[in-house]
A and B are shown apart, each in its own frame.
Chain A
Amino acid sequence: MVVVAVIFLVAGAVFLLVSCVGLLRLPDFYTRAHAVGKAETLGSMLILLGLAVYNGVALSSLKLLLVLFIIALTNPTATHALTRAAMRSGLKIWRAEGK
């Protein structure tokens, strides 16, 4: 069980690193929202799943899965709301040079 939990945690940490690199390196708001909204959700879900596997059968594992469910529900919704607000307020979409 510990090995499975460690695998989940390492995979989740890699996805969190990817989302933070995307937040730093990508050129405009929409691409950053793309990086954060998906990689961040998957990374945190993997980490919480690994911790729930490590914790075994207990009430706190059920609560960890509830936190996972809430993150899976709210994180893409918040990103979508922000992106829609940016679109409606007229933020320009980034284009590559020469296109």
Chain B
Amino acid sequence: MGSARREPVVSTFFLGVTVFIALLFVASLYRIVTGPTVFDRAIGVGLMGTNAILVLVLIGFLYNRIEMFVDLALAYGMLNFIGVVALAKYFERKQESE
């Protein structure tokens, strides 16, 4: 199958992409900390969750355990979506009741 061969050059490239995406976490973290409204913070959380899925899948390739990590990424994607939609519903309802 495809997971039999791993060239070291490609593995280094995957490590580079993983570090690049991990550095992009700083951008969404900055927006979460200093976002003017709560919606800015929520969209920063959503962006961070999507980047976390990609980092999970890439870590699976780095450790040759992709069969396990892709399931984790699947579950994390669904949880991320539910969390962001729940945040949106909560703040929408909160403003209406005031």
Binding site for B on A (CB under 8 A): 2, 6, 9, 13, 16-17, 19-21, 23-24, 29, 32-33, 36, 40, 44, 47-48, 51, 54-61, 63-64, 66-67, 70-71, 74-75, 77-79, 81-86, 88-91
What is the total of A-B residue contacts with beta carbons within 8 Å?
148
**A23-B31, A24-B27, A63-B74 are contacts. A36–B95 as well, Cβ < 8 Å?**
no
Chain A residues positioned under 8 Å from B24 (CB to CB): 16-17, 20
Chain A residues positioned under 8 Å from B89 (CB to CB): 81, 85
Chain B residues positioned under 8 Å from A16 (CB to CB): 20-21, 24, 51, 54
* Contact call B84/A70, Cβ cutoff below 8 A: no
Chain B proximity of A10: nearest CB distance (Å): 8
* Contact call A58/B37, Cβ cutoff below 8 A: no
* Contact call A32/B2, Cβ cutoff below 8 A: no
Interface residues of B in 45-98 (CB under 8 A from A): 46-47, 50-51, 53-54, 57-58, 61, 66-67, 70-71, 73-74, 77-78, 80-81, 84-85, 87-89, 91-92, 94-96
Known pairs A23-B27, A60-B3, A78-B81. 8 more at Cβ < 8 A? A16-B51, A16-B54, A17-B24, A55-B2, A58-B2, A59-B67, A74-B77, A75-B46
